[in-house]
């Protein structure tokens, strides 16, 4: 008898079917955001198109995703092209389209690592352990929040959907524990999605919801596959700060940490906002 396999909702959201030279995917209702899918899940499906590509070399090193237009519910096509393959690095251009129009573009670099002199330069912020932080209520939040167990330590989103237009906070610094719900072993795809999970810095700083959306999102993967394996199904800590909020655009950048102080990824993004 065959083993009955139930896909984790995240695996379903990032799954692709290979055609001749493109992949077909489908937006997941479980990862819907306010307009279109959660950007972190979209970034993950783009990266997946590289990782499952028959010519793929090494592991993800860098990913930049540009959200050019809203992605509508339903099918999309992804084309991932290994533009240049070297001995230890490979450069990719990726585009996601619907009805023949490009909605998302991305570049990725995959690489083989060798053992070298190494040093973790940043230290994990000292925060309460996730077991001491209550998960946020996903009530009234976009659907994708239900696919995560999010435990905000500092300046995080959910209250912003309730407390509108109060005093601005003094900073846009935002720190949260997060893991998939139900729990799922961390891999490069979920790490990508975690990196996009903090609220836009403009919400956090102003303690107010304003229409906003990521324009460009970058992840540098520091973790090896082995380190991700050691992280198991545990929570990760995502810690981001903004440097400037200025005339329609703001940035944020920071780190994704394993529970035991391994820097898994660095991330940055620039976000459009209205008003």
Residues that bind a copy of itself (CB under 8 A): 61-62, 64, 66, 68-69, 83-84, 86, 88-89, 91, 93, 95, 101-103, 105-107, 109, 111-122, 171-172, 201-202, 205-206, 215-216, 218, 220, 222, 224, 241-249, 251, 253, 255, 263, 266, 268, 270, 272-275
What tokens appear for 78 in the block?
């992804």
Cα(153)–Cα(129) distance, integer angstroms: 9
For the bound state, the minimum distance from the C-beta of residue 252 to a copy of itself, rounded and expressed in Å, comes to 9
For the bound state, the minimum distance from the C-beta of residue 163 to a copy of itself, rounded and expressed in Å, comes to 17
Residue 28 or residue 201: which is nearer to a copy of itself going by CB?
201
For the bound state, the minimum distance from the C-beta of residue 217 to a copy of itself, rounded and expressed in Å, comes to 10
Residue 112 or residue 139: which is nearer to a copy of itself going by CB?
112
Q: Which residues does 46 contact at the CB level (< 8 Å), separation at least 6?
A: 63, 65, 78, 80, 94, 96, 104, 106, 108
For the bound state, the minimum distance from the C-beta of residue 155 to a copy of itself, rounded and expressed in Å, comes to 12
For the bound state, the minimum distance from the C-beta of residue 64 to a copy of itself, rounded and expressed in Å, comes to 4
For the bound state, the minimum distance from the C-beta of residue 2 to a copy of itself, rounded and expressed in Å, comes to 39
Instruction: Tell me if 230 sits within 8 A of 247, measured CB to CB.
Output: no
Cα(178)–Cα(155) distance, integer angstroms: 14
What tokens appear for 54 in the block?
């028959």
Instruction: Tell me if 46 sits within 8 A of 106, measured CB to CB.
Output: yes
Residue 105 or residue 181: which is nearer to a copy of itself going by CB?
105
Cα(25)–Cα(12) distance, integer angstroms: 9
Q: What CA dihedral angle connects 182, 185, 191 and 197, to 10 degrees?
A: 10
Q: What are phi and psi of 72, to 5 degrees?
A: -85, 160
Q: Which residues does 131 contact at the CB level (< 8 Å), separation at least 6?
A: none
Residue 147 or residue 201: which is nearer to a copy of itself going by CB?
201
For the bound state, the minimum distance from the C-beta of residue 175 to a copy of itself, rounded and expressed in Å, comes to 15
Residue 104 or residue 136: which is nearer to a copy of itself going by CB?
104
Residue 19 or residue 120: which is nearer to a copy of itself going by CB?
120
Residue 196 or residue 251: which is nearer to a copy of itself going by CB?
251
Residue 141 or residue 270: which is nearer to a copy of itself going by CB?
270
- Residue that the structure tokens 């997941």 belong to: 28
Cα(14)–Cα(30) distance, integer angstroms: 12
Cα four-point dihedral sign 14, 18, 24, 28: negative
For the bound state, the minimum distance from the C-beta of residue 115 to a copy of itself, rounded and expressed in Å, comes to 6
What tokens appear for 195 in the block?
């990196």
């Amino acid at each position: 008898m065959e083993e009955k396999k139930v896909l984790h909702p995240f695996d379903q959201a990032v799954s692709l079917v290979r055609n001749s030279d493109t992949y077909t995917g489908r937006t997941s209702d479980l990862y819907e955001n306010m307009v279109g899918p959660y950007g972190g899940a979209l970034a993950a499906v783009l990266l997946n198109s590289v990782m499952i590509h028959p010519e793929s070399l090494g592991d993800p090193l860098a990913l930049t995703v540009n959200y050019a237009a809203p992605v509508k519910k339903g099918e999309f096509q992804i084309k991932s092209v290994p533009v240049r393959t070297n001995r230890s690095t490979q450069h990719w251009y990726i585009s996601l389209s619907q009805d023949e129009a490009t909605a998302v573009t991305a570049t990725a670099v995959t690489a083989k690592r060798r053992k070298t002199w190494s040093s973790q330069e940043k230290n994990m912020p000292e925060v309460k352990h996730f077991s001491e932080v209550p998960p946020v209520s996903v009530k009234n939040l976009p659907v994708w929040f239900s696919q995560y167990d999010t435990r905000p330590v500092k300046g995080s989103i959910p209250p912003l959907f309730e407390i509108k237009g109060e005093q601005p906070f003094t900073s846009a610094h935002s720190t949260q524990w997060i893991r998939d719900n139900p729990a799922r072993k961390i891999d490069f795809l979920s790490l990508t999605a975690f990196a996009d999970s903090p609220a836009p810095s403009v919400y956090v700083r102003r303690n107010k919801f304003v229409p906003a959306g990521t324009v460009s999102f970058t992840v540098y993967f520091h973790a090896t596959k082995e380190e991700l394996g050691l992280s198991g199904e545990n929570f990760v800590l995502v810690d981001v700060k903004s440097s400037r909020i200025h005339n329609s655009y703001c940035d944020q950048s920071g780190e994704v940490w394993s529970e035991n102080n391994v820097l898994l990824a660095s991330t940055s993004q620039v976000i459009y906002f209205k008003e």
